[in-house]
Amino acid sequence: MKRTIKGMILTISMFCAGQAVASFTAADAKQLETDASAAVSRFQSETKGAETLLNEAKGILVCPKITKAGFVVGGESGECVMQVGGKTVEYYANHAGKIGLVAGIQWYSLILVFNEQEALDKFRTGKREFEIGADASVAMAKVGAGGSLDTTNLKGAIVAFTFGEKGFMGDLSIEGATFKKLQVE
């Protein structure tokens, strides 16, 4: 059992470390922008009111594909595009580690909607990685029946939407997720 847990920790650590040290090229940035654009289009077509919400936002962070996996010990990783005024301004890497009741593998898309300029500025200008839960509370929004938005949490400083889930994961939270600015090489 100890051997299995150590192996899983090592595998997840290598996965996250490999993502962190891999160079991010102009070609990677272009592909990420294409994928992010497709994710936003999918979100808008599947969710009533999404276009207005995104247009009114101070900024949006689009993570077209986040991979989350684990068994007792888990991790997640992905790359994201920050858009302000409909234009890409920065790129970010997303990472998180979890211990506890975690089981499975899942891929999903994430959009963080920044409704307040102060929250957007804090995210973009931090001297270290931005961590959900430590640096800011994020309201998880729900899409109701028929694809309409549940308006309960839409006015929070930062609102998160997950969609396009594939696979199975016994845990789907973004608490503890960190975002680190990527430099295009």
pLDDT in tens, 83-129: 999 999 999 999 988 777 778 898 999 999 999 999 999 999 876 67
Report the C-alpha gap between 2 and 150 in whole angstroms.
Answer: 44
> Is 121 in contact with 157 (CB distance < 8 Å)?
no
Collapsed DSSP state (helix, strand, coil) of residue 107: strand
pLDDT at 14 over 60: no
Collapsed DSSP state (helix, strand, coil) of residue 11: helix
Mean per-residue pLDDT over the chain, rounded: 81
**pLDDT given at position 142:** 63
Find which of 1-10, 48-57, 66-75, 148-157 is predicted with most confidence, using mean pLDDT: 48-57
Q: What is the pTM of this model?
A: 0.81
Grade residue 6 by pLDDT with cuts at 50, 70 and 90.
very low
Grade residue 10 by pLDDT with cuts at 50, 70 and 90.
very low
Q: Count the domains in the chain.
A: 1
Question: Residue 83: which domain range?
Answer: 2-182
Report the C-alpha gap between 126 and 121 in whole angstroms.
Answer: 8
Which tens digit of pLDDT belongs to each residue from 101-114?
Answer: 778 898 999 999 99
pLDDT at 4 over 70: no
